[in-house]
Amino acid sequence: MRAAIIGTGMYVPPRIVTNDDLTRIMDTSDDWIRARTGIEERRFVEPGEATSDVALPAARAALEDAGLTVDDIDYLIVATMTPDHYFPGTAPFLARKLGMTRIPALDIRQQCAGFVYGLQLADALIRSGQHRNILLVGAEVHSSLMPWESWDVLLGESDRPVPEKEYARNTETRGRTVLFGDGAGAVVLTASNDGGIVDTLLHTDGNFAEKLWTKAGGSAYRPYFSDEMIESGDVTPLVEGREVFRLAVTLMPEVLRSIVERNGLTIEDLDLLLFHQANLRINEAVQKRLGVADDKMINNIQRYGNTTAGTLPILLHEARQQGRVKHGSLLAFVALGAGLNWGAVLYQARGPKGHLAGVRPQMG
């Protein structure tokens, strides 16, 4: 028995923030952002909405698509780097909102690689026979990490000038903040002897942890948080862009080739590649190195930005909506993120329900 995906769902907030909107609070431009990232717009939640709030409609949609109810689920996994609270995280709050009681509800913190790590965990739990139906959600509210104060200006609710000091700080951090958006994707996995997860291959190398991280707060400091951390911008994710680009375009092709070869396959055998949506330029470079044709690729970072743990399940759901996943399709999920964590998952869509073939329109 292996883990097979029988339902998917997604949710992105209705609030669209374009690159031009960002020019109101920092020195940037649509051309500058597109040239470096490929991003055109992203979605942000309204104040007071937490990660469990964006995860909820995605989870419900995946359950509906799978034809299951919350009572059928016996394990919940939430991958996120933006938990509702530092403890107990997001999974217990999502479980409560779904009406789940007394089942394991687990947060995992592998950031951009969270979904592939979650797939391995779900597959192991199902193969062990301990659990049968697992709900795996990748969800983020990155807007909570943004150092901006003039949200009213950003959203076009005011035309007042942004204070010079704030404008300068926003400009200084633009290389990281323009990347992110809010959103969630979810999948339901069940035990199956026909199709499903073929193999997983994951890695972590802490020697590169500071290349992509949030420096503060944490137990490395006393106190955990301070005004100085906020003022310095250390609570905003830090990305060493050139080094992360180099690592991504080296390690992502490497891990994909490794998992394909150890299963007696070639890159040409893959029907669809789903890369984490961190930067369109990274994905284009990886695609070129692998020699993959355009019709085997799918990207949506242009519309959503980087939703970290949410990117792959959102991408999978949209691939199904577009008819890109067929019965028997061989898919590859590939991701790299902070930690440094990276990996690949091979998945075969099969079975009388197709597992992944076709999906009803859902919110997004």
- Cβ contacts of residue 302 below 8 Å, gap of 6+? 38, 39, 40, 41, 280
CA–CA dist 69, 91 (Å, integer):
17
Q: What is the CA radius of gyration of the chain?
A: 20
Q: Token match 């901006």: residue?
A: 148
CA proximity to 63, closest of 50, 52, 76: 76
Name the pairing type of β-strands 330-337 and 196-204: unpaired
Amino acid residing at 98: L
Q: Which amino acid is at 30?
A: D
Nearest Cα neighbor of 191 from 129, 120, 103, 106 is 129
Residues designated catalytic: 112, 276, 306
Rounded Cα gap, residues 364 and 361, in angstroms: 9
Measured CA to CA, the distance from residue 201 to residue 113 in angstroms comes to: 12
CA 313 to CA 302: how far, in whole Å?
16
Helix/strand/coil percent split, the chain, to 5: 40, 20, 40
295: nearest Cα among 277, 312, 271: 271
Longest dimension (CA), the chain: 62
Angle at 82 between CA 274 and CA 139, to 5 degrees: 40
CA distance 312 to 345: 11
Instruction: State the first-to-last Cα distance of the chain, in angstroms, to the nearest integer.
Output: 32
Asked if residues 247 and 276 have their Cβ atoms less than 8 Å apart, the reply is no
Question: CB 134: neighbour CB atoms within 10 A?
Answer: 25
